[in-house]
Amino acid sequence: MDFLDPDLQAYAEAHTTPETELLHQLNRETHLKVMKPRMLSGHLQGRTLAMFSQMLRPRRILEIGTYTGYSALCLTEGLAEDGILHTIDVNDELEDMVRDYIEKAELTQKIQLHIGQAAEVIPTLDEVWDLVFIDADKKSNGVYYDMVLDKVRPGGFIIADNVLWSGKVVEKFRSKLDKDTQLVLDFNQKIHLDPRVENVLLPIRDGILVIRKK
């Protein structure tokens, strides 16, 4: 995931608004106590998500893949006054930690956490989405995209994470074309060829694909 020059990464973070104290605490606790802490959105990507949310002022956000809740807290920063964020994760072992930070952030009325398989939870949510953030199992990215697109309002956005897959989407950065990389390549091409949307791939952290529904 760390394929950007570390000095450039450090410079970008140094010239980005710092994390709040609560986000810094969550970042640190995730790295100290939770497996695979690199799954955390982190400072630069978190501020990017917050900025998108602040520009859009969404009423309804769907997040697929909560992990420890860092990105959810960032995305709520731009919610409209009556806005709600629904976030879905399959890992019930992290539920107490996530709920603890939602409470610390005083967002219990703004964030609804769903524990379960995203493909089963999504159809139960009767909402029109202004913003969707897909950051779960990469093999299902295309499935989640197909499930939510019709429920995204015209002019709404879908953001997909990890679309550069540690740089392995480019041949010179991989030793072989493995199954996971092929799935990411297929997803990126699927979006790029979909006439219903416009898209831009941003080389932020592990790659963010920003998709606007026409």
CA distances from 95 to 18, 22, 112, 147, 163 (A): 26, 17, 12, 24, 26
CB 209: neighbour CB atoms within 10 A?
A: 23
Q: What is the pLDDT of residue 3?
A: 67
pTM: 0.95
- Residue 60: DSSP 8-state: E
Q: What is the pLDDT of residue 173?
A: 84
Dig out the tokens for 90 from the structure.
């399959």
CB-based contact 141:169 (threshold 8 Å): no
Q: What is the pLDDT of residue 2?
A: 63
Dig out the tokens for 111 from the structure.
């964030």
Averaged over successive runs of 10 residues, the pLDDT of the chain (214 residues) comes to 79 96 97 90 95 98 97 98 98 97 98 98 98 94 97 98 93 88 96 98 94 98
One-letter amino acid at 199 equals: N
Q: Which residues contact 202 (CB under 8 A, 6 or more apart)?
A: 48, 208, 209, 210
Q: What is the pLDDT of residue 5?
A: 83
Q: What is the pLDDT of residue 148?
A: 98
Rounded Cα distance, 182 and 168, in Å? 9
Radius of gyration of the chain (CA): 16
Q: Taking the mean position of all CA atoms in its chain, how far away is CA 120?
A: 19
Rounded Cα distance, 31 and 40, in Å? 9
